[in-house]
Amino acid sequence: ETGVTQTPRHLVMGMTNKKSLKCEQHLGHNAMYWYKQSAKKPLELMFVYNFKEQTENNSVPSRFSPECPNSSHLFLHLHTLQPEDSALYLCASSQDPSGIGEQYFGPGTRLTVT
Amino acid sequence: AQTVTQSQPEMSVQEAETVTLSCTYDTSESDYYLFWYKQPPSRQMILVIRQEAYKQQNATENRFSVNFQKAAKSFSLKISDSQLGDAAMYFCAYRTAETSGSRLTFGEGTQLTVNP
């Protein structure tokens, strides 16, 4: 248990559905991240939020829409996804985005797009 | 842009033996951080060990140690006295030391099997 929780753990959705992934950290951290983990590929950073402000968008398609209402919560809103978006989506947090503080990861949401 | 390469997709080791996982990286920066993360079947990724590039001394954490060769841009992980619970996917990661940098760049991972 790393102090970062994600819900749901598994999600199956059709290409026309709208769903949201939720991440919550109980560590008092100031930075939060979304990563995509596909089979046989390195983890891909999607978004970075520092103090609720988005500081990085790694050329992510607009069908993925992040939201960070406060430093403890991070959402990833999904709409009109494609089958190739099926992957494990990991959330992470760190104390200070500029320090050496490690990133703490959640257990991930396994997303399947049908 | 920085890249991280793990050339061993899979490794196996006998319980109680020692195994070394390889990682190389490419960067033009002189100051940065390197990490090894472990992702067991439960999928929760946890930090195993980290190294600050300006420190010459290799980091150690109990049975885990690294061999950091800055000139060669190599950062291998050695697991001593391997245990069944060490079985997992291991990821090497790089992070700049610049104050504005928080991005972790990961390698493709090495799947470690521990045989009883």
B101·A98 Cβ contact <8 A: yes
Taking CA atoms, A41 is separated from A13, A30, A87, A97, A110, in Å, by 22, 28, 11, 24, 15
User: In chain A, positions 22-61, which contact chain B (CB-CB < 8 Å)?
Assistant: 31, 33, 40-43, 45, 48, 50, 55-56
- Taking the C-alpha atoms of residue A69 and residue A37, their distance in angstroms, rounded to an integer, is 24
Q: Are B8 and B92 in contact (CB under 8 A)?
A: no
The mean-pLDDT minimum among A73-82, B13-22, B91-100 falls in B91-100
B43·A108 Cβ contact <8 A: yes
Is it the case that residue B37 has pLDDT exceeding 80?
Answer: yes
Question: Nearest CB to A2: which of B46, B100, B105?
Answer: B46
- Taking the C-alpha atoms of residue B67 and residue B16, their distance in angstroms, rounded to an integer, is 20
Residue ranges of alpha helices (H) inside chain A are none
Place of tokens 């079947």: B41
Predicted confidence at residue A97, as pLDDT, reads 67
- Taking the C-alpha atoms of residue A51 and residue A37, their distance in angstroms, rounded to an integer, is 24
User: Strand (E) positions, chain B?
Assistant: 3-5, 10-14, 19-21, 24-26, 32-39, 46-52, 60-61, 64-69, 74-79, 88-96, 104-106, 110-115
Q: Give the residue-averaged pLDDT of B79-95.
A: 96
pLDDT-above-70 percentage for chain A = 95
Highest mean pLDDT among A30-44, B48-62, B64-78, B85-99: B64-78
Q: By three-state DSSP, how is residue B86 classified?
A: helix
B71-82 confidence digits (pLDDT tens): 999 999 999 999
**Of B115, B94, B106, nearest in space to B14 by CA:** B115
Say how far residue B52 (Cα) sits from the centre of its chain. Answer: 13
A100·B108 Cβ contact <8 A: no
